[in-house]
A and B are shown apart, each in its own frame.
Chain A
């Protein structure tokens, strides 16, 4: 038999076991009937456990009187009644009869139109950007060549691509603005003057 006695007294764990989980063996019973110290210890543990139990149940029972338990039960059963059923659909707009077929949110035709619009937008953005870069570069190069050509006739000779790249790469902001002014003063730009008059200036637009 497992020994639960320490110095002829029951260990604390054994006393707890006896109060909560287990029954005393005959030897333990005999000891408890003769040892007042162990019997008192056991009584203390029992009292403590009873106090804790009473306190716990009293707290819970006070918080949950019978009416509240009944309400809770009704709520549980009500929740179960809705369990597994599809959710109710509220008609919208309010005048809409629930039996009327609701039109599909997206139709094939509108989907095609939307796709075409998106496609067009993407192509437009790419083409715009590419076209802008391309024309800017071409204009820059031709202007550079044109202005230099006035001062340096040797540049009128066929120019290699490498040379053009070198010219455009080395141009400073001031040089570029000078060239721009020269180009605007050129007679060809006069044709664009009416169009320029129609266009609002950046600092006028707020």
Chain B
């Protein structure tokens, strides 16, 4: 039933990500770093296209979960990928690329949320203007998996996740939607692993309280 890819084998508590063998994308990021260092920027860009393709889907899921707006999520993901390439020289090859990238992406989302709230503060209410908001891109026909989850249930879940405090939502999104281990999330967010676990448990308990009632 689940459309999510099979979960990674759970990492033992306390295990740090760098001890695990590095992923294919981490090796690819290392290669790109060396190409940039050697001044072969065109070749590096070409290779970077592959990395973008590999990480893109996961990135938009995280950003969309965070921002709940397709345009903002698009912008945040683009900014994050551009930032990663421009700072690829500072990538530490002994660390998983996903963790580094997630950190940059989360920061990009936070920046966008800040600017969005600033924008909303100064925005003229829609009723005062005759302009019509640009239409969101329409989704293609729903997949069979989508049909399984009823619209109402999906709306309830979205509301419940959105109602979580920021930290809990971030940790939950990274652990559950982005499928990162608590060790990776703790590295990405700069929190201790115990704190990550506490936020995660609280988030799930809260979701259970809300969603089990409905």
Across the interface, A72 reaches (CB within 8 A) one of B74, B148, B182, namely B74
Which residues of the other chain, A, contact B207 by a CB distance below 8 angstroms?
Answer: 48, 52
- Flag if A60 contacts B65 (CB, 8 Å): yes
A70 to chain B, nearest CB (A): 9
Per DSSP, chain B at the interface is: helix
A28 to chain B, nearest CB (A): 13
- Known contacts: A20-B175, A21-B10. The answer to whether A60 contacts B60 by CB under 8 A is yes
Beta-carbon contact of B1 and A50 below 8 Å: yes
Pick out which of these stretches binds chain A: B22-30, B108-116, B123-131, B138-146.
Answer: B138-146
Q: How far is the CA of A170 from the CA of B148 in the complex (A)?
A: 100
**Residue A81 is within 8 A (CB to CB) of chain B in the complex:** yes
Contact B154 A55 (CB under 8 A): yes
Closest CB in chain A relative to B157 CB, distance in Å: 4
Verify if A5 is at the interface (C-beta below 8 Å from B).
no
A76 to B140, Cβ gap below 8 A? no
Q: What residues of chain A lie closer than 8 Å to B181, measured between beta carbons? A: 21
Of A61-69, A130-138, A141-149, the stretch lying at the interface with chain B is A61-69
Min CB distance A86 to B, Å, is 15
The answer to whether B157 touches A51 (Cβ under 8 A) is yes
Contact across chains for A60 and B201 when beta carbons are under 8 A apart: no
Expressed in whole angstroms, the minimum distance between the Cβ of A24 and any Cβ of chain B is 10
Which A residues are in CB contact (< 8 Å) with B208?
Answer: 44-45, 48
A63 touches B45 (CB 8 A): no
Number of interface residues of B (CB under 8 A): 59
In the complex where A72-B74, A80-B45 touch, is A49 in contact with B204 (Cβ < 8 A)?
yes
In the bound complex, residues from chain A placing their C-beta under 8 Å from that of B148 are 54
> Is A58 an interface residue, CB under 8 A from the partner?
yes
* Cross-interface CB contact of A54 among B56, B64, B149, B197, cutoff 8 Å: B149
- The yes or no answer to A79 lying at the interface (CB within 8 A) is yes
- Point out the residues of chain B lying under 8 angstroms from A77, CB to CB: 45, 48-49, 52
A92 to chain B, nearest CB (A): 29
Asked if residues B10 and A62 are in contact (CB atoms below 8 Å), the reply is: no
- Distance (whole angstroms) from the CB of A142 to the closest CB of chain B: 65
Q: Are A58 and B64 in contact (CB under 8 A)?
A: no
A185: B residues at CB distance < 8 A:
none
Which 8 A-B residue pairs are closest in the complex by CB-CB distance?
A: A62-B139, A60-B64, A63-B70, A60-B61, A55-B157, A55-B154, A64-B60, A76-B81
9 A-B contacts, Cβ less than 8 Å apart? Answer: A16-B201, A21-B11, A52-B176, A55-B158, A58-B154, A60-B61, A62-B140, A65-B137, A83-B85
Q: What residues of chain A have their CB less than 8 Å away from a CB belonging to chain B?
A: 12-13, 16-17, 20-23, 44-45, 48-65, 68-69, 72-73, 75-77, 79-81, 83-84
Q: Which residues of B contact A (CB under 8 A)?
A: 1-4, 10-13, 41, 45, 48-49, 52-53, 56-57, 60-61, 64-65, 70, 73-74, 77-78, 81-82, 85-86, 136-137, 139-140, 142-143, 145-146, 148-149, 153-154, 157-158, 161, 173, 175-177, 181-182, 197, 200-201, 204-205, 207-208, 211-212
Known: A16-B200, A20-B176. 13 other contacts (CB 8 A): A21-B175, A23-B10, A58-B3, A58-B149, A60-B61, A61-B143, A63-B73, A64-B64, A73-B52, A73-B53, A75-B78, A77-B52, A83-B82
